[in-house]
Amino acid sequence: MDRFPDKNELRILFSHAAYQMAHCFSLRGTEVSHSQAWSTEDTQTQLPTADVLVISGFWQDEYLDHANRLRYIQSIGAGYDQFPLDTLKARSISLANATGVNADAVSQHAMGLILALYRQLHTGRDNQKQKIWRGMISDISMREDDLCGHTVLIVGLGAIGNRLAALSKAFGMTVVGVKRNIDDYSGPADEVVSPECFPDQLARADVVVLCCPLTDQTRELMNDRTFRAMKQSAYLVNVARGGCVNEPALLSALHHDSIAGAAIDHFNDEPLPVSSPFWALDNLIITPHTGGETRKYEENVIDILWENLGRLWDNDPTLINQIV
């Protein structure tokens, strides 16, 4: 493999429909050649001259047919299931993800969704649009509630899950976490169990929050069986990948009030089609994959990119958040 291009030879292509990656990078005065593609077509056009590609949702496997110079891909997001890992490895193209860049944002988003479900903020906004002043509720089970004393089951105790655990504790909740390696855990969760014990914890959980990556083990983790194991009064919050939830099973659980409600930030098909039955559910809060949004996002990704470029220039093969 040829050496990694020097700073004065390198060209970076930023590819995203909204994030102002190239603009923020230019403000650092690095003197490294770079440009931004705002569409998939533009990405393919500019890719043949790029040594480094910074991308997430625009990725297409056929880009590799136009990327003879490509040496390093920096994912803009934490997820990397869209990339052909074996092909990248065979072509000696490094891949790093952006794990941690939005841990504060996602954990706070999840906490906000928990609060919204318990405080019924979504129905309050619905009533506001209809100019309805709702009266006090006599049925205790239908009222708003506080979080104190409730149990949250957090699947995935990485940077996001641990931050959410700390936030949940601040609201007086009991935190049970699910983690692959529980032997060395020293975070804020009250209890930690292995993934094999996850089904046994569902009956005690008032809220189940998915903060895990999408893997073979977590794909459709929430399904007919796991929804049946939940309390009828419990909620599901998903700030992980949509593939972690079997959507027909979720739809059935919400439609039949098998669970009290859910808040979902990511679906299998995005944008969520207008024809989707999920739009009509009163016991569902939908956010359009905005859990990780923050005004610091570009800068946080560029911090990882710049550190990894420094390592590659120093012939250090170990990158931050390296996948390949």
Catalytic residues: 241, 270, 289
* Residue in 301, 288, 285, 225 with CA at minimum distance from that of residue 258: 225
Tokens 């002043």 identify what position? 133
DSSP 44-83: HHHGGG-SEEEESTT--GGGGGG-TT--EEEESSS--TTS
DSSP 159-183: HHHHHHHHHHHHTT-EEEEE-S--T
Cβ neighbours of 22 (radius 10 Å): 20
d(CA 291, CA 115): 15
* Residue in 320, 290, 315 with CA at minimum distance from that of residue 305: 320
* Residue in 16, 76, 9 with CA at minimum distance from that of residue 299: 76
Cβ neighbours of 233 (radius 10 Å): 12
Exposure class string for 211-224: b at 16+ Cβ within 10 A, else e: bbbbeeebeebbee
Q: Are strands 11-15 and 284-286 parallel, antiparallel or unpaired?
A: unpaired
Beta bridge partners of 73: 53, 95
List helix spans (H) across 130-288.
159-170, 198-201, 224-229, 247-255
Coil, strand or helix at 34: strand
Name the phi and psi angles at 120, rounded to 5.
Answer: 55, 40
Cis peptide leading into residue 188 (ω within 30°): no
